[in-house]
Structure 1
Amino acid sequence: MSVLSTLVWSVADTLRGPYSESEYGAVILPFTVLRRLECVMDPHRKAMAEIVKKYSGEQQRRTHLKLRTRTSDSTGLSFWTTSAYTLEKALQDPDNLAANLINYIGGFSSNLDVFKSFDFENVIRTLDARERLAQVVRHFEKIDLSPEAVSNADMGDLFENLIYRFAESANDGAGQFYTPRDVVRLLVGLVYAEDKEALQESGTVRSIYDPTVGTGGMLTVADEHLRHLNPRASTALHGQEINPRTYAICKADLLIKGQDPTNVRQGDTLVVDRFKDRRFDYVLSNPPFGTDWKAVEAAVKSEHARGGQGRFAPGLPAVGDAAMLFLLHAASKMRDVDDTGRGGKAGIVLNGSPLFNGGAGSGPSEIRGHLLENDLIEAIVALPNDMFYNTGIATYLWILSNSKPEERTGEIRLIDATGVGSKLRKAIGSKRIEISEKNRKRIERAFDGTQNDGDASAVPVKVFSNRDFAYWTVTIERPLQLRFQCTEETISAVAEHKKLGQVKGLIDALEAFGDEVYLNRGKFNKEIGKHLGDHAVNLTPAQRKTLWQTIGIHDEAADYCRVVSGKDKGTIEPDPALRDTENVPLGWGGHPKTHEARDETVQAYFEAEVQPHTSDVWIDWDKTKTGYEIPFTRYFYAYKPPRALDEIDADLERVVGEIMELLREVEA
């Protein structure tokens, strides 16, 4: 594949000069698509011409062309061109080459509208104006991209490799378009793992959907994997893509495979779901890591506010990271469970933040809670670092299901596959590690529970219940106890206060108040109020509150401050500065692992873990929140003792010796 990709990309040598590096892809990608289409059509040109001549309607042409070109390995062509041109024929009239090519692409059937997304007609005219068109056409006309020479899977790899090169040359986040094939194969294998028997049944038909489809790489792998399990299986591939170039490549690629081209649609998945009324057997996605959703904030928040069964009803993540929005979308697109118990599955690639970001009550926590409480998370797999082309950070595969096997209902498998990667001989961008087929099967066995846990090659797995990740965040209050004294420091603090410092006569009055110590707020307020009145300083209620807050200093010897009015009159006020929180896991201390057991569990925890260490504390029950977190690394943490001191000393002595030797060389 690297050889073919290099061959295709070598046309850049022709473009260098009139084109900048960032423009190469705009030329290379559409010509690659055109050449692939041409090679696919080549054996059927005669049949195509006959059918085009005989039938005028698009549907008639499509039906008869598919029937005439169908083989045991292909469903037949569903696109055509009314033009007689090929790249070779267009080159035979060099003076009219641009017009010939425009005629060529203009003759394609309406379902093959991808060249509009490439703005290919303008690309051709620009190449012609810069005197590079003939050289580029000759380059591509010589490349064999026929299905016999380049399989559909290899063609998908080629497209994505070209996209990678294009984005890399443009310094445009290459990896966001390109999911490594080893990652895709693992994701697909995990999603299919428990359906293998059903997938091999006669007449199997499955729908597969990717909401961030890119060039269609995930769909291609999923389709081929299913056909490997069952050659007689049928698939319906669907995808949505925001980028016009990758959308065009995906649509052309699926059309060549005989798929319905209307099932590839362009648009921002977070703004508008182009398959709003559809659910799918399998959902696969690798959304971009760490991208914000500011540009679509209004649309997303509007959908969230509608509530109900909307995609984003459970919660919203921080605007800086859209990953959990795609996670919610994937969960919403799984087909409903039917009478036989078969539902939908989803596999999505995410970074580490969706596991733990956001505290109790936050949007991310609520999203995790929605997935856990509805038993939608089947497994989470930690991948080795350095698996992707544009990042070396930790990544995870989330496997979702709304129809878990009965024996795994209410359970989640955490699989630590960080140690099963193999080093690449040569890094590709940030990708230095790959998962071999052997290791992929090890991970699949860990997922479906068929591995021997005593085996040295077993992948670490831990099984938890959904509620193991739930907790209550409890607010612990301590009483407000303040000492009041008009000292040089406290008066200075009042003088520097933005609002109090502007009150005429206040500082002079405080300096005349004396330095008596007050341990009771009520007494201090009464005395200071009388004193300020005598000095003609009038404060509003808000200013009086700000004044005692500025002068007051915590002192455990002081009286408790109490509410002076309202329904809570006489109750002890909490000190915000001493406020603390405790996270209490559901089921703590052997209590039932249910939300109904909250009060008894929290109270027991409070009496055992808080009260013995701090006096005068209480729980503010109104502030208690339920949270959800999946601390993956904590469960697989293995303590590594530090090196022995004599080893460290030996290293230090060696380094010092090397430094001294270098210094002696400099002095000499």
Structure 2
Amino acid sequence: MAKKKVLKTKSIEETLWQSCDKLRGSVEPSEYKHVVLGLIFLKFTSDKFEQRRQELIAEGKEKYVEMKDFYNMKNVFFLEEVSRWSYISKNAKQDDIAIKIDTALHTIEKNNPSLKGALPDNYFSRLGLDKSKLGSLLDKINEIDTLQNEGQDIVGRVYEYFLSKFALKEGKGKGEFYTPKSIVNLIAEMIEPYKGIIYDPACGSGGMFVQSIKFIENHHGNKKEVSIYGQEYTNTTYKLAKMNLAIRGIAANLGDKAADTFAQDQHKDLKADFIMANPPFNQKDWRGADELQDDPRWKGYDLPPKSNANYGWILNMVSKLSENGVAGFILANGALSGGGEEYKIRKKLVENGLVEAIVILPRSMFYTTDISVTLWILNKNKTERTVELPDTIRNYRNREDEILFMDLRQKGIPFEKKFIQFSEENIQDITKTYHSWQQKETDYKDVPEFCYSASQEEIIKKDFSLVPSKYIEFVNRDENINFEEKMTALQTELSDLLQQEAESKTQLLNVFKELGYELEL
């Protein structure tokens, strides 16, 4: 009996991506993400506008359907005729459709101050897109019913899917606008940003904020009880963030423009209850030691080295924390054990009781680098206290003199063939361990190759190194091996082998030369 073929139904995200991917070749991926996401934004805002318009008509308020205030009162963007999807769709095959789309986006931004600086500026006209390809893309987007099931957040899903796909396509050195979702989810579940001010000093496309709101919704909290602040350096990414948040109805203060967090801090007096961030790794060209020597953000600490911004980002975040603030952020592993000014700052952070947890993540989680990186958690209040979340109460014990080290390199599941992401079960396991360690009545235990709670005394003995492998027990590792000595020996051995290879090559060339042959190797 023949087996029935099972046809896999493609998701809206996959179908739309395949249609949009046809733009490749005529437009660079770094550009066409703004084209695609701009159109998705246009379709979504237009659908919301039409929905509100029909509500007004049904309520007998037809005379108000062209009045902006009757849309804004329901958090709906007002659209003039030239900005509505019905107008764009009707003109999809016209030669000047690119100009019409640019005009639509410009008009929406002009009529809605909260979108100032958010939408693509003349992308469609400037890029000279193939008319038939653009028309085909418009037809495909037209098929999306963005209001079909608001509980499923269809547009949010599409937007997030596209951001991750663009990051994957752009590869190393690109895609810095996007932090993989499972990492953002882990940070949110660990620091629990449920109420107060949330800040991200390098906010990219706004993923940290989106996940914070999802955390609040998943734990039955009230998203009106949080205020969001962020800053982004790259102008096109700043636009992505504003669109991403607007699509989801998330109000945020991202500053008046894209700007350098160090040189143009747009939130100087901010004190945040939660900070979530993934700043650039090992940033060399930052406005540090030369221009910001007396910056108040370094108060009480040594000046961060101008050769690397890692500790500049750390101190920026420390300076922004409220008296009970918690920060979760990603850094390259080198920050765990650097010398010089980094050592002095790290020592002071430990002595001040700010470092709560250091978590090593698996390799290949980021689309732009395959290195293993670290999640730091800083806490301004590690003393005994009670925290009431919407769906639970946590009684924290005093952990001022302890730091939790975790190694997650054996966690994660395959993703997109060559990448790793955390499963929901992974995140539950990790956060359960972390929160158990924090609490008074706890079943927390150190687990070899996974976690270890180190006292400040132990950390002092290790000369303030925050490398987890110096504290976590590895059962299959010979503790008598001096790994630094072993690495030096291996380097020497490799050098000797390379020298021997060079000598052998020279001898072989000489033999052929004696035989009357010229040979190149």
User: Could you tell me which of 7, 10, 19 is aligned with 2:18?
Assistant: 10
User: Could you tell me which of 89, 92, 96 is aligned with 1:91?
Assistant: 89
Query: Hey, what does 2:208 align to over in structure 1?
Result: 218
> 1:175, 1:389 within 8 Å by CA — same for their partners in 2?
yes
Displacement after TM superposition at 1:334 (Å): 0.9
Percent of aligned positions that are identical: 22
Deviations 1:612-658 (A, max 9, x none): xxxxxxxxxxxxxxx7432421112425368xxxxxxxxxxxxxxxx
**Is 2:11 the partner of 1:25?**
no
Residue correspondences, number = 445
The Cα RMSD (Å) is 3.5
Sort the Cα spacing of 1:225 and 1:400 in 2 relative to 1 into closer, same or farther, 3 A: same
CA distance, structure 2, for counterparts of residue 283 and residue 216 of structure 1:
13
Query: Hey, what does 2:488 align to over in structure 1?
Result: none
CA distance, structure 2, for counterparts of residue 375 and residue 104 of structure 1:
53
Sort the Cα spacing of 1:131 and 1:100 in 2 relative to 1 into closer, same or farther, 3 A: same
- Of structures 1 and 2, the larger Rg is shown by 1
Sort the Cα spacing of 1:102 and 1:20 in 2 relative to 1 into closer, same or farther, 3 A: closer
Query: Hey, what does 1:310 align to over in structure 2?
Result: 297
Deviations 1:542-565 (A, max 9, x none): xxxxxxxxxxxxxxxxxxxxxxxx
Query: Hey, what does 1:146 align to over in structure 2?
Result: 147
Displacement after TM superposition at 1:464 (Å): 1.4
CA distance, structure 2, for counterparts of residue 222 and residue 281 of structure 1:
12
**Is 2:79 the partner of 1:81?**
yes
Query: Hey, what does 2:178 align to over in structure 1?
Result: 178
Residue type of the alignment partner of 1:65: Y
Residue type of the alignment partner of 1:374: N
Residue type of the alignment partner of 2:47: C
> 1:159, 1:249 within 8 Å by CA — same for their partners in 2?
no
How do 1:100-179 residues align onto structure 2 when only pairs under 5 Å count? 100-108=100-108, 109-113=111-115, 118-119=120-121, 121-124=122-125, 126-127=127-128, 132-146=133-147, 148=149, 151-152=152-153, 155-156=155-156, 158-174=158-174, 176-179=176-179
Displacement after TM superposition at 1:399 (Å): 1.2
* Runs of at least 5 residues in structure 1 that lack an aligned partner in the other structure: 56-60, 70-75, 200-204, 338-342, 471-584, 587-626, 643-668
CA distance, structure 2, for counterparts of residue 383 and residue 451 of structure 1:
25
Residue type of the alignment partner of 1:327: I
Query: Hey, what does 2:451 align to over in structure 1?
Result: 460
Displacement after TM superposition at 1:28 (Å): 1.9
How do 1:225-236 residues align onto structure 2 when only pairs under 5 Å count? 225-233=215-223, 234-236=225-227
Sort the Cα spacing of 1:161 and 1:324 in 2 relative to 1 into closer, same or farther, 3 A: farther
User: Could you tell me which of 275, 279, 282 is aligned with 1:287?
Assistant: 279
Query: Hey, what does 1:249 align to over in structure 2?
Result: 240
How do 1:189-204 residues align onto structure 2 when only pairs under 5 Å count? 189-192=189-192
Residue type of the alignment partner of 1:135: S
> 1:83, 1:103 within 8 Å by CA — same for their partners in 2?
no
> 1:187, 1:347 within 8 Å by CA — same for their partners in 2?
yes
Sort the Cα spacing of 1:271 and 1:53 in 2 relative to 1 into closer, same or farther, 3 A: same
Deviations 1:20-45 (A, max 9, x none): 55543242232222223233333113
Query: Hey, what does 1:65 align to over in structure 2?
Result: 71
> 1:423, 1:432 within 8 Å by CA — same for their partners in 2?
yes
Residue type of the alignment partner of 1:634: K
> 1:389, 1:431 within 8 Å by CA — same for their partners in 2?
no
> 1:446, 1:459 within 8 Å by CA — same for their partners in 2?
no
Deviations 1:362-420 (A, max 9, x none): 21012213322322112222333333333333322211121222342532322324266
CA distance, structure 2, for counterparts of residue 641 and residue 261 of structure 1:
48
Query: Hey, what does 2:308 align to over in structure 1?
Result: 321
CA distance, structure 2, for counterparts of residue 189 and residue 276 of structure 1:
27
Residue type of the alignment partner of 2:78: W
Secondary structure in 1 matching 2:228: strand
User: Could you tell me which of 469, 478, 496 is aligned with 1:633?
Assistant: 469
Sort the Cα spacing of 1:443 and 1:394 in 2 relative to 1 into closer, same or farther, 3 A: farther
Sort the Cα spacing of 1:51 and 1:375 in 2 relative to 1 into closer, same or farther, 3 A: farther
Query: Hey, what does 1:371 align to over in structure 2?
Result: 349
CA distance, structure 2, for counterparts of residue 455 and residue 354 of structure 1:
24
Displacement after TM superposition at 1:116 (Å): 6.1
How do 1:562-581 residues align onto structure 2 when only pairs under 5 Å count? none
Secondary structure in 2 matching 1:400: strand
User: Could you tell me which of 18, 39, 46 is aligned with 2:47?
Assistant: 39
Q: TM-score, normalised by structure 1?
A: 0.59
Secondary structure in 2 matching 1:281: strand
CA distance, structure 1, for counterparts of residue 308 and residue 446 of structure 2:
39
Query: Hey, what does 1:576 align to over in structure 2?
Result: none
Sort the Cα spacing of 1:136 and 1:398 in 2 relative to 1 into closer, same or farther, 3 A: same
Residue type of the alignment partner of 1:632: P
> 1:40, 1:256 within 8 Å by CA — same for their partners in 2?
no
Sort the Cα spacing of 1:140 and 1:404 in 2 relative to 1 into closer, same or farther, 3 A: same
Sort the Cα spacing of 1:84 and 1:330 in 2 relative to 1 into closer, same or farther, 3 A: same
> 1:26, 1:123 within 8 Å by CA — same for their partners in 2?
no
Displacement after TM superposition at 1:348 (Å): 0.8
CA distance, structure 2, for counterparts of residue 345 and residue 394 of structure 1:
23
> 2:330, 2:376 within 8 Å by CA — same for their partners in 1?
yes
* Runs of at least 5 residues in structure 2 that lack an aligned partner in the other structure: 1-8, 385-396, 479-521
Displacement after TM superposition at 1:132 (Å): 3.9
CA distance, structure 2, for counterparts of residue 259 and residue 464 of structure 1:
41
Secondary structure in 2 matching 1:381: strand
How do 1:485-634 residues align onto structure 2 when only pairs under 5 Å count? 585=461, 628-634=464-470
User: Could you tell me which of 272, 275, 296 is aligned with 2:267?
Assistant: 275
> 1:392, 1:431 within 8 Å by CA — same for their partners in 2?
no
> 1:350, 1:395 within 8 Å by CA — same for their partners in 2?
yes
Residue type of the alignment partner of 1:291: Q
> 2:198, 2:227 within 8 Å by CA — same for their partners in 1?
yes
Sort the Cα spacing of 1:51 and 1:111 in 2 relative to 1 into closer, same or farther, 3 A: farther
CA distance, structure 2, for counterparts of residue 455 and residue 363 of structure 1:
32
Residue type of the alignment partner of 2:302: G
Q: TM-score, normalised by structure 2?
A: 0.74
**Range with bigger deviation, 245-254 or 282-291:** 245-254
Displacement after TM superposition at 1:302 (Å): 2.3
CA distance, structure 2, for counterparts of residue 352 and residue 256 of structure 1:
35
Query: Hey, what does 2:398 align to over in structure 1?
Result: 408
**Is 2:333 the partner of 1:331?**
no
CA distance, structure 1, for counterparts of residue 51 and residue 45 of structure 2:
11
CA distance, structure 2, for counterparts of residue 208 and residue 147 of structure 1:
31
CA distance, structure 2, for counterparts of residue 129 and residue 216 of structure 1:
31
